[in-house]
């Protein structure tokens, strides 16, 4: 994309953007929803469930794992993925500081 100038923004602004980017693709939304609903902990199940190539799902899982939102446990030849509760809570708190702003000056402008 051309380099984002992260250095001119605050740590918090960059961190919010990074989490939001993790959620900016419907495949990753679907993966996380599946993990919440359980049963489909395993990579292969997600591939069947979602309908993208195995390599693609694996790549999306890697991104979520890199951010810490999910963790994987090897079980034989398959891998079980789960949400990391602590990171998820941290993320939610962070995003809410941004989303829960009050809208002022609704009358004085626009």
Which of 13, 25, 82, 96 touches DNA by CB under 7 A? 25
Contact range with DNA by CB under 7 A, out of 3-11, 30-38, 89-97, 99-107:
3-11
Rounded to the nearest whole angstrom, what is the least distance from the CB of residue 30 to DNA in the complex? 10
Buried b (16+ CB within 10 A) or exposed e, 72-107: beeeeeeebbeebeeeeeebeebeeeeeeeeeeeee
Alpha carbons 110 and 89: distance in angstroms, whole number:
36
Which of 15, 27, 34, 90 touches DNA by CB under 7 A? 27
Residue 16 interacts, among DNA, a second copy, none and using kind-specific CB cut-offs from 5 to 8 Å, with: a second copy
Q: Is residue 47 involved in binding DNA (CB under 7 A)? A: yes
Residue 3 interacts, among DNA, a second copy, none and using kind-specific CB cut-offs from 5 to 8 Å, with: DNA
Q: Which residues contact 67 (CB under 8 A, 6 or more apart)?
A: 18, 19, 22, 87
Q: Is residue 33 involved in binding DNA (CB under 7 A)? A: no
């Amino acid at each position: 994309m051309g380099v984002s100038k992260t250095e001119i923004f605050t740590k918090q602004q960059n961190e919010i953007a990074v989490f939001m980017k993790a959620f900016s693709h419907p495949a990753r939304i679907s993966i996380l929803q599946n993990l919440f609903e359980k049963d489909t902990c395993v990579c292969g199940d997600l591939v069947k469930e979602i309908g993208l190539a195995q390599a693609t799902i694996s790549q999306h899982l890697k991104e979520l794992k890199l951010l810490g939102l999910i963790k994987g446990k090897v079980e034989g030849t398959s891998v079980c993925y789960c949400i990391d509760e602590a990171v998820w809570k941290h993320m939610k708190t962070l995003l809410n500081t941004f989303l829960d702003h009050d809208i002022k000056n609704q009358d004085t402008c626009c």
